[in-house]
Structures are given as C-alpha cells and as structure tokens.
C-alpha cells in the first residue's frame, strides 16, 4: 500500500513530457487521420482568411472567394475591392484582401503559377524558409501549409497550443509563439507531429480552456505544473460571491 502511494506521488510530481501528452490525449481523443484539406496555395489563402475569426466564418469566406473568382489566377488578377467584397463575411476584409492579392501575385511572379507541391521535396527547414520569404507569411502560416497540405512534419502553434503547452510546462513562460514552433516540433517523432498538433488543439478547446479550465477532467492533471495555481484562483473566485452576499 505504501509503495503504491509513493509511486502515485512520484507520478504526479514527474515533469510532463511530450510522450505523456501523446499517450494520455491519444487515449482521450482517439487516433487522428491526416488528409489533404486544400492545395498549398489555397491553404495559404484560407489561413489568411482564418486569422482573427472563427473556423465557420473563414470557411464561408473561402468558399465565397472561390465561388466569385473560380481560380487563384482570377483572384490574383481581381481588384482589391472585389476580393474584399467576396470575403466580407469572414471579417477584417479590408486588411485581408490586399494581403491575399499581394501574396498570390508574388508567388505567381516567382514560379509562374500556384503549384507549390515542390516544397514537399525540400528539407523541412528549407521549405519553411521559402514560404516565410513571402509577404506576411510567418512561422505559423508556413507550418500550416506544410502540415495540412503536404503532410510534412511541421508543427503549427495556434492560441490553444500556445496556452496548453505553457500550462503543461512543455515550453517556458517567456517563450513567444514564434519560438514555440521550433521548440515543440522536435519533441515528438516526425510521424507524430500532426497528431501532437491536433491533440493539443482539441484539448485546449474542450478541457484546458482559456477561461475556467476543467482540471478535474484533464488526463494530464497529475503532472500539470499550472494546476495548483488554476485551482487556487478558481477557489478564490468561488468565494467572492459568498463574501459579497454576507455584506448585504
């Protein structure tokens, strides 16, 4: 009995590793299957549309854009105000329309079209560097294109992954989002990067939420360094209404 308790205590105190995340969240959410969502150039446009809006709005905006212009060549040739009108339902159309036109024109000027499949033949770091040369394309967008369109082991870090990985201690508190890509990506085997990405996103949306995380439902709570602080803050918040009622 004593040995069992000691083992449990050691397990709770052990620093979480990426493999713990894979094992626990894999058991929680099940296997994930990679599939092509869009071509790389289409994924780039979709990613621009997805910034600062919901998945539903960005999907609607992308479908509206492609319905209005039929091809990326037509989008690149279109006036900015026409692109803006087509993507209006996605939000921030005035900012996103010129970005989409500019980056598509830049790609076409460089390679004569929009077939970016050659990136899959490049070493990962070289493919990232090629994409990040494009106007307005940072580490996150480059990783999304390589991961979702080409199945390369690039690790996109969105707001959920950034929050969850900090809470779990996978990255330091002072690490910024851009640097997090380089730290998290090599933590798992290349064939597991996509699943690692998807598990952290799903966990951030369903359990490790920005507000009121559900630590009691978390399979990683045993080793989460943020849990004690989160639970203390939750208790303080729960006591505040009671204290106010006593004063009335």
**7-52 pLDDT per residue, tens:** 444 445 578 999 999 999 999 999 999 999 899 999 999 999 998 8
- Domain at 14-33+153-222: CATH architecture: Orthogonal Bundle (1.10)
d(CA 192, CA 17): 14
Residue 86 has pLDDT above 60, yes or no: yes
- pLDDT above 60 for 102: yes
d(CA 194, CA 22): 11
Instruction: Report DSSP state, residue 16.
Output: P
The pLDDT score that the predictor gives to residue 121 is 97
> Six-digit token pair at 83?
């692109």
Residue 224 reports pLDDT greater than 60: yes
Whether domain 40-150 has CATH 1.10.340.30: yes
Do residues 231 and 214 make contact, with C-beta atoms less than 8 angstroms apart? no
Percent of the chain surpassing pLDDT 70: 91
* pLDDT bracket for residue 244 (50, 70, 90): low
Contact at 8 Å (CB) between 132 and 142?
yes
Residue 142 DSSP class: H
159-167 and 193-206 helices, crossing angle to 10°: 90
Rg from Cα positions in the chain: 22
Q: Enumerate residues 6+ apart whose C-beta is below 8 A from 92.
A: 51, 52, 53
């Amino acid at each position: 009995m004593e040995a069992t308790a000691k083992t449990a205590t050691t397990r709770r105190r052990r620093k979480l590793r990426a493999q713990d995340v894979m094992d626990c969240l894999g058991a929680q959410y099940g296997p994930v299957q990679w599939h092509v969502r869009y071509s790389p150039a289409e994924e780039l446009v979709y990613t621009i549309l997805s910034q600062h809006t919901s998945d539903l709005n960005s999907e609607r905006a992308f479908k509206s854009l492609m319905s209005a212009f039929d091809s990326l060549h037509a989008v690149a040739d279109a006036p900015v105000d026409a692109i803006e009108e087509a993507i209006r339902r996605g939000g921030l159309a005035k900012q996103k329309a010129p970005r989409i036109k500019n980056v598509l024109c830049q790609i076409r000027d460089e390679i004569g079209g929009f077939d970016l499949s050659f990136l899959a033949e490049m070493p990962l770091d070289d493919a990232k560097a090629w994409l990040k040369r494009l106007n307005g394309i940072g580490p996150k967008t480059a990783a999304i294109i390589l991961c979702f369109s080409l199945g390369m082991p690039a690790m996109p870090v969105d707001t959920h992954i950034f929050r969850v990985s900090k809470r779990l201690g996978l990255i330091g508190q002072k690490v910024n989002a851009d640097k997090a890509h380089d730290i998290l990506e090599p933590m798992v085997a290349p064939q597991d990067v996509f699943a690692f990405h998807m598990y952290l996103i799903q966990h951030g949306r369903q359990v490790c939420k920005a507000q009121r995380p559900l630590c009691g439902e978390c399979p990683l709570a045993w080793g989460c360094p943020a849990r004690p602080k989160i639970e203390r803050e939750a208790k303080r918040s729960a006591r505040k209404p009671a204290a106010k009622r006593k004063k009335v």
